[in-house]
Structure 1
Amino acid sequence: MGSFKKLNSKIYEKTTSVITPDSIYWKQLGTPVLVKEFGTVDYINFSPVEPYFFAVTCSVRVQVYNPITKLVAKNLSRFRENAYGAVFRSDGRLLCAGSEETHVKLFDVSTKNLLRLFKGHSAPVHRTYFVESRPQIVSFSDDKSFKIWDIPTEKNILSYSDHSDYIRAGATNSIIPDLVLSGSYDHFVNMYDTRTNQKVLSVNHGSPVECVLFLPSANVFLSAGGTEIKVWDVTAGGRLLKSISQHHKTITSLKLACDNKRLLSGSLDRHVKVYDISNFKVLHSLNYQNAILSMDISQNNDILAVGLIDGVVAVSRREETVKVKKDDKKTISWKHPSKSFQPTVDSVTPCLNHEKETKHDKCLRKFEFSKALDSVLLPYVANKTPQVTVSLIHELIKRRALQKAFTGREQKSVAQILRFFIRNITEPRFAKVLIDAANIFVDTFEDSPLIMDPEIAKLLLSLTQLLKEETAIANDLSQLQGAMCMILAGAAQQKTAAVGANLRPVHHNLIPSIDAQKDLIININ
């Protein structure tokens, strides 16, 4: 007689995600520390120099935080109305910000003094940036214009008004300071060359533009708006290179990381996604508790700060990997008067790992099917590892013993089985097995007086309603599949015969459980 084969529950386990070096790297960002602000977080910007303080623009103030202690180091409150888009200069000593007051303000970070006040806009200024290697500031306003200011004289050098709606996005180029990008709610992104004082490029993003960003080469730039990130080639006259749509709500911020080899995007769908800049494939995704309005990462990629719509700043810091130096193993010796003696090992006894037999396997081996089912319906098994319960039900179906395991049960046990069905019957991994089990359950208890119990009747109605909803969804998917087949068939006629011969046929059995669900509803009713 052969040895008893234990129950195999691995076939119903969830497929695990592929572990890559990038996923390991980004998972090292620890659990976010939540800092509550006074309103929605409009903008976050890290200082380019150590110790990488970051400025949070929120309500009528700009607060500079220490990334280690998560405490406010500086508080810039020289605003009577809302402040917007505070950014550091490349040396981290100056900070500029726009405001609802239509002014642009320049601060000394160390002393918190207001150094310059730039007046000239007629509407709120939402984004401001320093021009690299020049004493200039660029400001983007809701008055449909953006201006370039000279810091020493506080004068407006250049002004552009080619947009027809609010300008809420802009970018300067660190390699070519003469190039400036502006993104507007009129769906257009314009590029200007300050040497010729002209617009040199204009592209239509297709949605209100929330963020624009130059890539390091300066030949390519990104625009984000709606649920798409679009990649544009400057040298080809604004040709669209790629359109990325990995978010399902509006994208609000873009940032470069890892020496400009990775791109981060934050969205109202509560996700921050990490892309490889070479092919724009998603490498990792970070989840947050609420919609994301702003985001930035430190120069060394060790601190990620995310601003949420409810006024919370989530600060994640990379966990330091502490290398423990192992001490050299000390050899123990027993010294005799004449010589040192060290013991020798004659043989090594292998350690035998005996696998512990589970309770349901023990019951199956003794053909105690009802007890085996009871053991896997216990809450700590059915809730935490439902694949074990489904595996046992599948085994009992194969042995034609499930009906025997169902019979003779009390009201509490029957309710437990129905709750398990309701909780897991819509799970794709378990649907086929649990529909067959539910049919056997109905056949077993259709003449039982337990059906008249109010609690059991209520659970049966819940199961019926759940299956009706699943059947309706499956029917809608079938109709959608039929429509897609017609579209594909029409597209195939326009292709050459060689390409058409290689088209794979669309199978019509992608939803195999509709008939089974309908039969189960009829049986329950």
Structure 2
Amino acid sequence: MSSFKKLDIKVYPKTGPEITPDYVYWKKLRDPVLVKEFGPIDYIDFSPIEPYHFAVTCSVRVQVYNPITKLVVKNLSRFRENAHGATFRSDGKLICAGGDEGAIKLFDVSTKSMLRLFKGHEGPVYRTFCAHNRPQITSFSDDKTVRIWDIPTEKNLITFAEHTDYIRAGALNPNLPDLVLSGSYDGTVKLYDTRMEKLILSVNHGHPVESVLFLPAGGVFLSAGGTCIKIWDTISKGKLIGTISQHHKTITSMQLASNNNRLLSAGLDRHVKIYDISTYKVVHTMDYPNAILSLGVSKTDDTVVAGLVDGLVCVSRMEDKDKIDKKEKKKVSQKYKSFTHNEKVDVIIEDENVEKISRYDYYLKKFQYSKALDEVLRPYFVNKTPEITVEVIMELLRRKALERVFKDRDNKFLIQILKFFNKNITDYRFTRVLIIAFNVFLDVYQDRINTMPMEVLTYFNFLNQKLKEEVDLGEKLGELAGCMSMLLVAGDTTSSNENGYELKNLVASADAQKDLIVQIS
């Protein structure tokens, strides 16, 4: 007598994102911890020194958080009106911030005391930056001016008034501190040289500019506004190098990460896109629960913080390397069980020649067909591996046992099997098999349908509606196939036939379902 042969389950390719090194790297970010603030998060900036605290500008305060504990360690609240754009100095010891009062305030992080107050702007100041290696602050205001301030004397050294609308974005060149970049709601980005005290370059972004950023070398800068990011070359007098358009709502923030090899952009569409700087192609996407106004990334990429329009601060941390190592060790310890007897270690190795069979195979082997079907209708199989359920149904059809399995079942089973049909009958992988199985089911219960409880009939109605929608879709695809054939008939015959054949394949499952509607109705 031949031995029992297990079911050969067809493995379908899993759909999902392509597994790349970037995908693996950024997936190490754990689920964000949500911290509620008092209003929309205006700006987020990370300290350039360890332990990489980050400053959150929101409402009438600037709060400095510890990225590990997610707790506030410093609270700067010397503002009567809304604060804007708080940033750390390059040594992490000072923070400068603007606000609706029109003044720039400089704070000592350790003592929380206000060291300097710079007055002169006639409108709210939205962005402020401490210059690299020099005692100066650059501010960008709604009064349409960019100003350079001297920290020791609190004097306004230079004023640029080239824009015609609010200035909400600014950046300093990391390698050439004399170059200042500003972005305005007039749709332009302007580059100034503080040595000559004049405008040296102006480009038109085409939309109100929300964020500007210098790339590490300093010869290229980015502008974000509307749904696109534009790349400009300063050496060739503002030549447009390229355009990135991956968001479908306004982009609000840009940051560099991974040692300046990756660009992150956040927008009102709730997405953070990560690009490879060398190709400007998207390598990963992160989703958030609401529109993103600000974004911050720590120097080592171990913390990513997003500020949302509803006042939530989302703090995501990378998995600790120690924890990853522990997980790997745990996997190894689970693979091999060891026991110590008299200071000797016996390692139990499973016999590879012993072939284990699953419970549903065991029931099929014993000809207990009803139990086999009940087993694969459990939630685990239905939700995680429906192909196994379909394979068992195919085997029961092959053995001509499906009709016997369907007979005289209780309402609980009827609801289970109808739920499975509802969920999977329109899946192109299972359509043909489930149509045959459902025909068998109708043959068994056609005399009892009118006497079935309402909860069972509800699932019949759901299935009827779903199949009607599929047939309507099939008819529309058939019309599309005809239109495509007419459009391609003047072209290459082979190409036309191939395209028409592919479209006909799309409607095949819908055509096969038409016969069911009459029976279900």
TM-score (norm 2): 0.84
Q: Does 1:103 align with 2:99?
A: no
For structure 1, which segment, 212-221 or 473-482, has the greater mean C-alpha deviation from structure 2 after superposition? Answer: 473-482
Looking at structure 1, the residues matched to 197 and 148 of structure 2 have their Cα atoms a distance apart, in angstroms, of 11
For structure 1, which segment, 258-267 or 149-158, has the greater mean C-alpha deviation from structure 2 after superposition? Answer: 149-158
Matched with 1:35 is: 35
Matched with 2:333 is: none
For structure 1, which segment, 77-86 or 3-12, has the greater mean C-alpha deviation from structure 2 after superposition? Answer: 3-12
Contact 1:445/1:451 (<8 A) preserved? no
Residue 90 (structure 1) shift: 0.6
Q: Does 1:50 align with 2:50?
A: yes
Looking at structure 1, the residues matched to 221 and 418 of structure 2 have their Cα atoms a distance apart, in angstroms, of 56
Any idea what the Cα deviations from partners look like across 1:322-373, whole Å, max 9, x if unmatched? 368x9xxxxx9x9xxxxxxx99x9xx98734634322221233344443322
For structure 1, which segment, 210-219 or 279-288, has the greater mean C-alpha deviation from structure 2 after superposition? Answer: 279-288
Contact 1:302/1:318 (<8 A) preserved? yes
Residue 55 (structure 1) shift: 0.6
Looking at structure 1, the residues matched to 494 and 155 of structure 2 have their Cα atoms a distance apart, in angstroms, of 68
Looking at structure 2, the residues matched to 433 and 225 of structure 1 have their Cα atoms a distance apart, in angstroms, of 51
Q: Which amino acid aligns with 1:364?
A: L
Matched with 2:224 is: 224
Q: Does 1:300 align with 2:338?
A: no
Residue 69 (structure 1) shift: 2.7
Q: Superposition pairs for residues 117-266 of structure 1, below 5 Å?
A: 117-266=117-266
Which ranges in structure 1 are unaligned for 5 or more consecutive residues?
327-331, 335-341
Matched with 1:515 is: 511
Q: Does 1:359 align with 2:355?
A: no
Contact 1:13/1:387 (<8 A) preserved? no
Residue 400 (structure 1) shift: 5.5
Q: Secondary structure at the match of 1:201?
A: strand
Matched with 1:339 is: none
Residue 469 (structure 1) shift: 4.0
Residue 99 (structure 1) shift: 0.9
Residue 159 (structure 1) shift: 3.1
Contact 1:450/1:456 (<8 A) preserved? no
Q: Secondary structure at the match of 1:509?
A: helix
Q: Does 1:524 align with 2:507?
A: no
Q: How many residues align?
A: 503
Q: Secondary structure at the match of 1:310?
A: coil
Q: Secondary structure at the match of 2:169?
A: strand
Q: Which amino acid aligns with 1:509?
A: K
Matched with 1:422 is: 422
Q: Which amino acid aligns with 1:94?
A: L
Matched with 1:79 is: 79
Looking at structure 1, the residues matched to 154 and 46 of structure 2 have their Cα atoms a distance apart, in angstroms, of 25
Contact 1:12/1:430 (<8 A) preserved? no
Relative to structure 1, the CA distance from residue 309 to residue 441 in structure 2 (aligned partners, 3 Å threshold; closer, same or farther) is farther
Q: Which amino acid aligns with 1:73?
A: V
Q: Which amino acid aligns with 1:159?
A: T
Contact 2:473/2:510 (<8 A) preserved? no
Looking at structure 1, the residues matched to 15 and 143 of structure 2 have their Cα atoms a distance apart, in angstroms, of 52
Looking at structure 1, the residues matched to 485 and 115 of structure 2 have their Cα atoms a distance apart, in angstroms, of 66
For structure 1, which segment, 80-89 or 400-409, has the greater mean C-alpha deviation from structure 2 after superposition? Answer: 400-409
CA RMSD of aligned residues (A): 3.7
Residue 298 (structure 1) shift: 1.5
Contact 1:144/1:164 (<8 A) preserved? yes
Residue 435 (structure 1) shift: 4.6
Q: Secondary structure at the match of 2:375?
A: helix
Residue 216 (structure 1) shift: 0.6
Looking at structure 2, the residues matched to 475 and 62 of structure 1 have their Cα atoms a distance apart, in angstroms, of 59
Residue 46 (structure 1) shift: 0.7
Contact 1:451/1:457 (<8 A) preserved? no
Q: Which amino acid aligns with 2:312?
A: V
Residue 444 (structure 1) shift: 4.3
Q: Which amino acid aligns with 2:188?
A: F
Relative to structure 1, the CA distance from residue 396 to residue 199 in structure 2 (aligned partners, 3 Å threshold; closer, same or farther) is farther
Relative to structure 1, the CA distance from residue 475 to residue 220 in structure 2 (aligned partners, 3 Å threshold; closer, same or farther) is farther
Matched with 2:94 is: 94
Q: Which amino acid aligns with 1:514?
A: A
Q: Which amino acid aligns with 2:86?
A: A
Looking at structure 1, the residues matched to 488 and 157 of structure 2 have their Cα atoms a distance apart, in angstroms, of 59
Q: Which amino acid aligns with 1:365?
A: K
Looking at structure 2, the residues matched to 433 and 391 of structure 1 have their Cα atoms a distance apart, in angstroms, of 9
Looking at structure 2, the residues matched to 355 and 32 of structure 1 have their Cα atoms a distance apart, in angstroms, of 43
Looking at structure 2, the residues matched to 110 and 201 of structure 1 have their Cα atoms a distance apart, in angstroms, of 39
Residue 47 (structure 1) shift: 0.8
Residue 37 (structure 1) shift: 1.7
Relative to structure 1, the CA distance from residue 508 to residue 24 in structure 2 (aligned partners, 3 Å threshold; closer, same or farther) is closer
Matched with 1:272 is: 272
Matched with 1:329 is: none
Looking at structure 2, the residues matched to 248 and 476 of structure 1 have their Cα atoms a distance apart, in angstroms, of 28
Contact 2:263/2:274 (<8 A) preserved? yes
Residue 79 (structure 1) shift: 0.7
Looking at structure 2, the residues matched to 292 and 84 of structure 1 have their Cα atoms a distance apart, in angstroms, of 16
Q: Which amino acid aligns with 1:227?
A: T
Which ranges in structure 2 are unaligned for 5 or more consecutive residues?
330-339
Residue 412 (structure 1) shift: 2.5
Q: Secondary structure at the match of 1:69?
A: coil
Q: Secondary structure at the match of 2:202?
A: strand
Relative to structure 1, the CA distance from residue 453 to residue 66 in structure 2 (aligned partners, 3 Å threshold; closer, same or farther) is closer
Relative to structure 1, the CA distance from residue 374 to residue 128 in structure 2 (aligned partners, 3 Å threshold; closer, same or farther) is same
TM-score (norm 1): 0.83
Contact 2:478/2:504 (<8 A) preserved? no
Q: Does 1:282 align with 2:282?
A: yes
Looking at structure 1, the residues matched to 188 and 59 of structure 2 have their Cα atoms a distance apart, in angstroms, of 28
Q: Secondary structure at the match of 1:68?
A: coil
Matched with 1:338 is: none
Residue 479 (structure 1) shift: 6.9
Matched with 1:445 is: 445
Q: Superposition pairs for residues 369-384 of structure 1, below 5 Å?
A: 369-384=369-384
Any idea what the Cα deviations from partners look like across 1:462-510, whole Å, max 9, x if unmatched? 2222334455556667777888889x969x98xxx9xx99999534236
Any idea what the Cα deviations from partners look like across 1:23-46, whole Å, max 9, x if unmatched? 333233334333222222211111
Contact 2:107/2:114 (<8 A) preserved? yes
Any idea what the Cα deviations from partners look like across 1:127-156, whole Å, max 9, x if unmatched? 222222332222222333333323233333
Any idea what the Cα deviations from partners look like across 1:388-440, whole Å, max 9, x if unmatched? 22332344455555444333333322121111222334555545544554454
Looking at structure 1, the residues matched to 504 and 472 of structure 2 have their Cα atoms a distance apart, in angstroms, of 16
Matched with 2:320 is: 320
Looking at structure 1, the residues matched to 189 and 97 of structure 2 have their Cα atoms a distance apart, in angstroms, of 22
Relative to structure 1, the CA distance from residue 383 to residue 458 in structure 2 (aligned partners, 3 Å threshold; closer, same or farther) is same
Residue 48 (structure 1) shift: 0.8
